[in-house]
Amino acid sequence: MSDKELRKTADKQAIDRFLHQVRSTPKPSTEQGRLIFALDATASREATWDQACHLQSELFLATRDLGGLAIQLCYYRGFGEFKATRFVTQTQQLLELMNDVSCRGGRTQIGRVLGHALKETRSQPVKAVVFIGDCCEEPVDELCHTAGELGMLKTPVFMFHEGQEPHAKAVFQQISKLSGGAYAPFDRSSPQLLKDLMAAVAVYASGGAKALQNFATTSSSEVKRLTRQIR
């Protein structure tokens, strides 16, 4: 075989190797970050549910430049009622889902929220869970165990606590810490604070810790405190 033929063979082999490498290289993910937006829809939270309906657009607006977000609404109410919707990518879709819900008296079901988040993220990664609630009426050890499992899977839970109930505060802080998330209190008289906190978590779910740090530099002191809790 001549030198010219050898060069052609070598060139063809190099091209074949290159094409094989390109085909076998993992393609970058184009999927939007997934976030579970979970709320206590029992009777004590009716006023703040309306507030959350007005503010939910922040979850989408804050992430437009980061690739967006897919959000699943999750809530509990009444006698053992627990619902999780499809994932949506538009603020109007989420608002319509929330407007279909009315609050009903009942006990908390935070364990079902965490268990559902665990199941979802095992199927396809969930970047963050936002929970808004005011009390806890469940065994703490079980909640903490599931929160720890979420932490192992890198699905942080952000516990937004309405009011000052001390037992709920202690439980919510443990859940957030074990899952790698953060705890933040608020009250219904401070809608701007809830708006900022929701936007901060949306940025984290869409762009990661670095995006959240960048967001926090021009945000409120509460957002900065939230950011410092992320491990």
Q: Which of 10-24, 131-145, 171-185 comes out lowest in average pLDDT? A: 10-24
Q: What pLDDT digit, counting tens, does each position of 21-41 carry?
A: 444 434 434 467 899 999 999
- Residues forming beta bridges with residue 34, ordered by sequence position: 70
Q: What pLDDT digit, counting tens, does each position of 185-198 carry?
A: 888 777 778 888 88
Cα separation, 176 vs 152, whole angstroms: 13
Residue 210, token pair as written in the block? 């670095």
CB-count exposure of residue 50 (10 Å: 0-12, 13-18, 19+): middle
pLDDT for 60 beyond 90:
no
**Domains in the chain: ranges and CATH:** 36-229 (3.40.50.410)
